[in-house]
Amino acid sequence: MSEWWDKQIQRADQLIPSANGSKDLLKFYAHLLRAQKDIYEFLRSRKDWLPSGDLESDLPVLLDALPGFLKVIQSYGPESLAAEAHDLLDADLQVITQKVMSYWLNPSDIQFFEKALIQPYLRWVAESGARPVRQEVSAGERYCPFCGGSPQVSFLQNKETTAESGNRDLICGTCLSSWEFRRVVCANCGEERPAKLGYFHSPEFDHVRIEACDTCKHYIKGVDLTRVGFAAPIVDEIDSAPLDLWAREHGYTKIELNLVGL
């Protein structure tokens, strides 16, 4: 639903004025979210067409939305992304198809354009009732049950009306859908020993924390919606970018990078 995209965009717009070190990242992300929403709306409003979940057959439709998306990145992205967007605008359709299909079969969080393009597509696939069709999908508790992607951010949210504590969900970096996950467990390696799991907080970002594992040295950011109910995890995660740098300085690697590369 487009309301989901609107919520993310509104949250980004809300955070930009008060953002400190991450202001430029948030400004870009707000533009990116609008461009992704446009792709989603383009797919959703197409008459007599529903996605099959098989990207190879859906790609011609998806690529119709690509030029508008690339122009946004060219206008608002950093130099390197803008240059790549410019090249892609002039690139042969076959080359682009090859790049996107390569990501589809083997997703990587350092492929910006492919990931940003696939996210709205997969959201529409999920909402239309189809399932992604791929040769190999990672299975297991820590992978997205819908598309097999890795978790990008976790969030806590009350699910029992009388509970004060939040259930933990993970958001997939590939399709942006969420799934339930246990609280005191590493989202990367499954470590459960409390002494090996560190939660790092800072008063500057009261509702966001680093959930780190000393066994695999990976981390994921957690957004506590029981403290700030109107937060949008994928946006608040970018607002709290200084926590990512702190985690990296202390030897932790993020499980899945977001679309600003942190």
Q: Catalog residues that contact another protein under the rule CB under 8 A.
A: 20-25, 28, 77-81, 108-110, 112, 158-160, 162-168, 182-184, 194-195, 197-204, 241-246, 248-249, 253, 257, 259-262
Give the residue carrying structure tokens 């246990």: 182
- Closer residue to another protein in complex, CB, 81/147: 81
Give me 230's structure tokens.
């109107």
- Closer residue to another protein in complex, CB, 131/182: 182
| Torsion angles phi and psi, residue 155, rounded to 5 | -145, 150
Q: How far is the CB of 137 from another protein (least distance, A)?
A: 19
- Closer residue to another protein in complex, CB, 190/261: 261
- Closer residue to another protein in complex, CB, 98/165: 165
Give which of 261, 222, 243, 3 is closest to 112, Cα–Cα: 261
- Closer residue to another protein in complex, CB, 54/242: 242
| Residues with Cβ within 8 Å of residue 96, at least 6 apart in sequence | 63, 66, 88
CB 223 within 8 A of CB 157: no
Q: How far is the CB of 257 from another protein (least distance, A)?
A: 7
205 Rama class: left (phi>0) / alpha (psi -120 to 50) / beta = beta
Q: How far is the CB of 131 from another protein (least distance, A)?
A: 27
Q: How far is the CB of 37 from another protein (least distance, A)?
A: 20
Give the residue carrying structure tokens 């806590």: 156
- Closer residue to another protein in complex, CB, 6/87: 87
Q: How far is the CB of 230 from another protein (least distance, A)?
A: 21
What are the C-alpha distances in Å from 59 to residues 50, 106, 121, 174? 12, 16, 10, 16
Give per-residue burial for 49-59: e unless 16+ CB within 10 Å, then b. Answer: eebebebeebb
Q: How far is the CB of 86 from another protein (least distance, A)?
A: 13
CB 26 within 8 A of CB 16: yes
